[in-house]
Amino acid sequence: MSAVKIKQISDKDVDIVVENFDIAYLNSVRRLSLSEVPVLAIDDVVILENTSPVYDEVLAHRLGMIPLVTPVDRYSLPSECDCNNPSGCPKCRVMIVLDASAGESPRTVYSGELICPEDKDVKPVSDRIPIVKLAPNQKVKVEAYARMGRGKDHAKWQAANIAVLLEAKNGKGMYELKLETNGSYKASTLLTKSIQLLQKQIKTISEAVGEV
Amino acid sequence: MLIPVRCFTCGSLVGDKYEDFKARVETGEDPSKVLDSLGVKRYCCRRMLLSAFEIVDYEIPYYEAIERRRKELLGS
């Protein structure tokens, strides 16, 4: 009989010990959590105005790297969405706007100023990430589109920061799986999502084999 | 230019901790203890904060000077 013991769990990380279970499956879960679980990240940026000392491309890259809280099962990958629209539809894309200007004194623009008018659940993981610094009278006006994506395509879509599988200290055939998220998903959601993904992939393979 | 949003190696969020880190180190606290209390535990993330340098702070005074000059010209 295989048994699972939760060693430690919080919103940010999960640590489980699994007994009598095939290590290959556990490793698949680990790898899927790192590179396959889709999360939201800003993908397209329309720069309407940027007079800040930060270049347009640097600004766009910084916006992309900001981890966004992803509502579970609300958005689908653009490649799997049924809209067939290259620019996306409300099911596979969210708009995020940023409109900031400095008055008489320099100031820093933080991620808390990013507004998502279409979906109140989509927001940056932290409100205190500096995006740009503005000198007096400078302005940044940006329209950005967040999409779902996979870690294997870009690091901004990586759901797990850390995913390790190791042999547990006490006992043979016991393995410890540690996952740490960047806050886009809760750690428990990330773990269940990776397991669901593995089940889905195995189903796809067995169906394909069945047809042969 | 500014502090990177995420750690280059593991992808964990570090950008939001920099200002707090900098302010506390400037008051004379031990950087390693500040990093511990901010929950930055891996050395890849710790070096992000320890070695960060915000060059924008050196650029902004020039833009301020341009702005002052513009106002002077408009005023005269």
Q: What ipTM score was computed for the predicted complex, to two decimals?
A: 0.90
DSSP string, chain A: --EEEEEEE-SSEEEEEEES--HHHHHHHHHHHHHTS-EEEEEEEEEEEE-SSS-HHHHHHHHHHS-BPPPTTT---GGG-TT--TT--TTT-EEEEEEEE--SS-EEEEGGG-B-SS-TT--BS-S--EEEEE-TT-EEEEEEEEEEE-TTT-GGG-SEEEEEEEE-SSSTTEEEEEEEE-SSS-HHHHHHHHHHHHHHHHHHHHHHHHH-
Contact yes or no for A53 and B5 at CB 8 A: no
Average pLDDT of the residues in A181-206: 94
Average pLDDT of the residues in A38-65: 95
What pLDDT score does A169 carry?
Answer: 81
- pLDDT confidence of B76, banded at 50, 70, 90? low
Q: Has residue A23 got a pLDDT over 70? A: yes
* A10 contact residues in B (CB cutoff 8 A): none
- pLDDT confidence of B1, banded at 50, 70, 90? confident
B21 alpha-carbon distance from chain centroid: 9
- pLDDT confidence of A85, banded at 50, 70, 90? confident
- For domain A3-36+159-210, the CATH superfamily is RNA polymerase, RBP11-like subunit (3.30.1360.10)
What pLDDT score does A88 carry?
Answer: 86
The structural domains of chain B, ordered by start, are 15-75 (1.10.10.60)
For A132, the token pair is 């740009």
Share of chain A above pLDDT 70, in %: 100
Q: What is the CA radius of gyration of chain B?
A: 17
Q: Has residue A151 got a pLDDT over 90? A: yes
Contact yes or no for B15 and A136 at CB 8 A: no
Contact yes or no for B57 and A133 at CB 8 A: yes
Sheet holding A139-149, edge to edge: A39-50, A139-149, A94-101
Contact yes or no for B16 and A126 at CB 8 A: yes
Q: Has residue A191 got a pLDDT over 90? A: yes
Count of CB contacts below 8 A, A vs B? 69
- For domain A40-150, the CATH superfamily is DNA-directed RNA polymerase, insert domain (2.170.120.12)
Average pLDDT of the residues in A102-122: 93
Q: Which of A109, A123, A137 to mutate to test the interface with B (most CBs of B within 10 A)?
A: A137
| Contact of A124 with A131, CB cutoff 8 Å | no
Contact yes or no for A62 and B2 at CB 8 A: yes
- pLDDT confidence of B53, banded at 50, 70, 90? very high
* A162 contact residues in B (CB cutoff 8 A): 10, 12, 42
* Mean pLDDT score of chain A: 93
- pLDDT confidence of A83, banded at 50, 70, 90? confident
What pLDDT score does A86 carry?
Answer: 82
Residue intervals in chain A for CATH 2.170.120.12: 40-150
Tens of pLDDT, residue by residue over B5-52, are 999 999 999 999 999 999 999 999 999 999 999 999 999 999 999 999
d(CA A5, CA A8): 9
d(CA A92, CA A12): 25
d(CA A84, CA A103): 44
B69 touches chain A (CB under 8 A): no
B9 touches chain A (CB under 8 A): no
Q: Has residue A211 got a pLDDT over 70? A: yes
B65 touches chain A (CB under 8 A): no
d(CA A93, CA A147): 5
Q: Which of A109, A129, A184, A185 to mutate to test the interface with B (most CBs of B within 10 A)?
A: A129
Residue intervals in chain A for CATH 3.30.1360.10: 3-36+159-210
Identify the residue with better confidence: A173 or A189.
A189
- pLDDT confidence of A20, banded at 50, 70, 90? confident
Q: Has residue A66 got a pLDDT over 70? A: yes
CA distance A182 to chain B (A): 6
